[in-house]
A and B are shown apart, each in its own frame.
Chain A
Amino acid sequence: MPELDLVLAIAIATLGAGTPLLLAALGELVSEKSGVLNLGVEGMMLMGAAVGFAVAAESGHFAFATLCGVLAGAALALVFGFLVLTCRANQVAAGLALTIFGIGASALVGAGYTSRSLPAREAAGASFVADLPVVGPLLGSLEALTWLSLACFAAIAWFLYRSRPGLVLRAVGDAPDSAHAVGYPVIAIRYLAVLFGGAMAGLGGVFLSVYYTPTWVENMTAGRGWIAVALVVFASWRPAWVLAGAYLFGGVTIVQFHLQGVILASQIFSMLPYLATIAVLVAISRRGEAARRLAPASLGIPFHPER
């Protein structure tokens, strides 16, 4: 049945295409839940992608390259954290600056690697699934990072809603003054959340450049960081919706690839995530108080203690 095979292939490919979106959006979700809006996801992903690719190309050591990409994303997030948390700069402006900086810096790092290819490596998929009938070979082709992103989703959902540190994180995003008065270190908690967001964006970037494509091209994330930011809003800050949204928009890119020029111009598909986000924003603001409570109340507002 070729149709079934095609559907299956698209479904499996969607998991792969959705992975960088899921990773970056989960990181941004944690950051926003603490009340910090980081619009620099695109820049952090690019840094992760460039550094990860460069290390993999030089050392041939993929796990080490992944770690370096994660650290690159986190390092950029640290700069952002210093600006908006310590210096209390405007979060929107700092985030935009971070993206532009990331685009330039990643191009610089990756300048010598544009035509390089990575050394060969064993497909590191989970071997037990490869033995399954029908879906086995397809599932087996998935990267370990795809499985890891699913584990991250479960862990973050559990952390946010079932653990005490997660409760504290949400509390900081909801009412930082109250959190400060009750005795929680608001700034430190936000730093951790921002760093985590950067690390996840870096991981998403590494996945793209080292595992998924695998090549380095300047500006290769092509707006995925922005989609990740939009996804968090689209999901109304709920992890399960982030997961669904990541695969929805991952699926859109795959369908777009398969149907190129057949039904609609591919540019239409590229617009979809943003249109969907705008629709959700409108829906949220029309649904009144209860729906607005979904957004962290202090999102984007700098915190001044002693005021």
Chain B
Amino acid sequence: MPEVPERGPPLRLELQGIRKAFPAVVANDGIDLAVAPGSIHALLGENGAGKSTLMKIVYGVIRADAGRILWEGAPVDIASPSDARALGIGMVFQHFSLFPALSVAENIALALPATRDLGALSVRAREVSRRYGIPIDPARTVHSLSVGERQRVEVVRNLLQEPRLLIMDEPTSVLTPLAVRELFRMLRQLADEGRSILYISHKLDEVRALCDTATILREGRVVGRVDPRRESTRTLAERMIGAAPPALRRTPLDRRPRERLGVDWRALSPGGADGVGLRDLRFEVGGGEILGIAGIAGNGQSALLAALAGEMRAASADAVRIDGEPVGHLGVRARRRRGLVHVPEERLGRAAVPGMSLARNALLTACHHGLVRRGWLRPGAISAFARRCIDTYDVRCGGEHADARTLSGGNLQKFVVGRELLQSPTVALVAQPTWGLDVRAAAAIRSALLGMRNEGVAILLVSEDLDELFELSDRIAVIAAGRLSPARRIDEAGVEEIGRWMGGELPDTSAPERTGQDHAASP
């Protein structure tokens, strides 16, 4: 039943006037929400709209300042997650609540009322995972599982408690397209059994495909209750951000661009945060072109970026070329001096020093652009450069002397992107540029990247967001288990094929390619 019934069977969950204020912000303000039995109810909103706070209140992780929670018609006080679980509420966290060093069976046991018999529990877990088509192996250690497998463990752990309401917090952000389809099938099966599902997301297509009701949050308030199946992505987006999302335009390339970044690297020892070794890296990126690298996190992206940025040096100078000049043997600073810039995935701690001002942070990578003379800092030039980043990229902050840590994720990312792109680069390495950003900040970043592309910069874009890659890239390749697929022209690439590659079924790169667009086959 999509409509919330006024009379008849009691609602599974009803929230009345929930309010929660944090020192800096009112996260939830007078929120009403009603979830019917057997309904898949979307909680839709941008980052910072208050979705996660609201769900943490329902699950007892934090307590509301005001408001009432009704469970199946009766007012309840949910003081802790165990209270929530006792009522029949389960939650699958975005960043899972798993224990990496323990086995799957132990992880499951920890979330259940005391049981002594891990063996019997494993049998039950296998049974549930088979019933819902989500295979797991209770004996494995969690740290050896892929992200998708970890989510299955978290789901199975919840299902073993026979929840009547299952909260899913941004569950697809870590999944391949195929895994998303499996997840949706399972969620529909759960709803058919009469369980309610609260589905938190900012992905409009998913909400339209899966959910029968949507409550839309903006800045801590409810701004709409709709049937998402009757809305278009555009109308949902307008309600969610309060304005029409800016459209991006990417003009197709008319001719093959000249190579600006060339890579020919046989084998890379394991490096980077994910410890994945790379094999047979051969590709090039042309000026005025964006090469998108898709892939699930932990498949060698960080090693790839470290190798290209110069954090890892190659044995031969020819392994990496910038504008034809061999730079494989050079380190980070030497490569930067040749026009390479890098926007790393971690904004705080890698791209910017949290406790330093924006001006000082600008100095960190732009130091050879007239900000230092004979070893002495030039405060005026540094401030001017930082102000230029702030003005050009509309960074909302307390001026160039504000500490990096005081900025929101979106504004800091705009500043970092600005700092890198204002150095008139030849090659830009960009990792997860819009991860965790709201729609408006993400659109600003994307249009900045497209602008640089149109000015002739070669951009390597590593992202887990397929929509973003298809929107921005001229060509797209997939990285899986340390191997890089051939690159497809974006108008010839299919989501199906890319998704299959992301799952590890890469084509044999040694075979000649059909499309002729594969730069790996033509050195």
Contacts and interface: CB of A to CB of B under 8 A. Distances in A.
Interface of A: 164, 167-168, 170-171, 174-175, 177-184, 288-289, 293, 296-297, 306
B396 interface: no
Interface string B45-66: 0000000000000001110000
A185 to B, nearest CB: 9
Given A164-B114, A178-B97, A293-B143, A183 B80 contact: yes
A175 B116 CA distance: 22
Interface stretch (B101-109, B412-420, B441-449): B101-109
Contacts of A179: 97, 99, 110
A174 B81 contact: no
Nearest to A162: B116
A293 B109 contact: no
A177 B101 contact: no
B132 interface: no
Nearest to A306: B62
A167 B106 CA distance: 8
Given A164-B116, A289-B275, A181 B97 contact: yes
B101 A297 contact: yes
26 contacts: A164-B109, A167-B106, A170-B99, A171-B99, A171-B102, A171-B106, A171-B110, A174-B99, A174-B100, A174-B102, A175-B97, A177-B97, A178-B99, A179-B97, A179-B99, A179-B110, A180-B61, A181-B93, A183-B80, A183-B81, A183-B85, A184-B110, A293-B100, A293-B101, A293-B143, A306-B62
B158 to A, nearest CB: 11
A162 to B, nearest CB: 10
Nearest to B96: A178
B225 to A, nearest CB: 29
Interface of B: 60-62, 80-82, 85, 91, 93, 96-102, 106, 109-111, 114-116, 141, 143, 275
B97 A170 contact: no
A181 B96 CA distance: 9
A159 to B, nearest CB: 14
Contacts of A293: 100-101, 141, 143
A89 to B, nearest CB: 20
Contacts of B109: 164, 167
A294 to B, nearest CB: 8
Given A164-B114, A183-B80, 14 more contacts: A164-B116, A167-B110, A171-B110, A174-B99, A179-B110, A180-B61, A181-B91, A181-B93, A183-B81, A183-B85, A289-B275, A293-B101, A293-B141, A296-B101
A296 B60 CA distance: 27
Nearest to A289: B275
A61 B93 CA distance: 56
A184 B82 CA distance: 8
B384 to A, nearest CB: 37
A167 B109 CA distance: 9
Contacts of A288: 275
A182 B97 contact: yes
Contacts of B96: 178
A297 B100 contact: yes
B101 A178 contact: no
Contacts of A175: 97-100
A19 B109 CA distance: 35
B134 to A, nearest CB: 20
The 6 nearest A-B residue pairs measured at CB: A181-B97, A183-B81, A178-B97, A183-B82, A174-B101, A174-B99
A181 B106 contact: no
A297 B60 CA distance: 25
Contacts of B102: 167, 170-171, 174
Nearest to A164: B114
A229 B80 CA distance: 35
A165 to B, nearest CB: 9
B166 to A, nearest CB: 15
A83 B111 CA distance: 30
A167 B99 CA distance: 11
A181 to B, nearest CB: 4
Contacts of B275: 288-289
Contacts of A183: 60, 80-82, 85
Nearest to A163: B116
B170 to A, nearest CB: 15
A257 B373 CA distance: 65
Contacts of A181: 61, 81, 91, 93, 97
Nearest to A288: B275
A183 B98 CA distance: 12
A296 B101 CA distance: 8
A168 B91 CA distance: 20
B98 A178 contact: yes
Contacts of B61: 180-181, 306
A248 B61 CA distance: 47
Contacts of B100: 174-175, 293, 297
A164 B108 CA distance: 12
Chain B CB count within 10 A is highest, among A174, A175, A181, for A181
A182 B106 contact: no
B61 to A, nearest CB: 6
B164 to A, nearest CB: 18
A181 B111 CA distance: 10
Nearest to A185: B80
Contacts of B62: 306
A170 B101 contact: yes
B65 to A, nearest CB: 13
A295 to B, nearest CB: 9
A178 B114 CA distance: 17
A178 B110 CA distance: 10
